[in-house]
Amino acid sequence: MLPIVVFIQFIVSIGMVVLILLHSGRDAGMGGMGFVPTSQGGTHIVEKNLTRLTVVFTVAFFVNTIFLYRLL
């Protein structure tokens, strides 16, 4: 059971790093790549979805870390 949980932790960690690196400032990252015109203003739908996915990975990382701690 432990190797499976460690593997999941590894995959979630890599996913979190990638997702966090995709976030950037106002005119960079996924939101500034031209998916939506800049004159529209506000938060782009791509950025909102990226934020939601990052939150999901963060919660999975947190839960998996606690589960891993309980296994050890």
Mind listing the pLDDT tens digit for each residue in 4-38?
999 999 999 999 999 999 886 555 555 555 555 55
Helix (H, G, I), strand (E, B) or coil at 29: coil
The span from the CA of 7 to the CA of 43, in Å, is 34
pTM of the predicted model as reported, rounded to 2 decimal places:
0.72
Per the listing, tokens 């960690």 go with 13
What pLDDT is attached to residue 10?
A: 97
Are 12 and 64 within 8 A, CB to CB? yes
pLDDT higher than threshold 80 for residue 39: no
The radius of gyration of the chain's CA atoms, rounded to the nearest angstrom, is 16
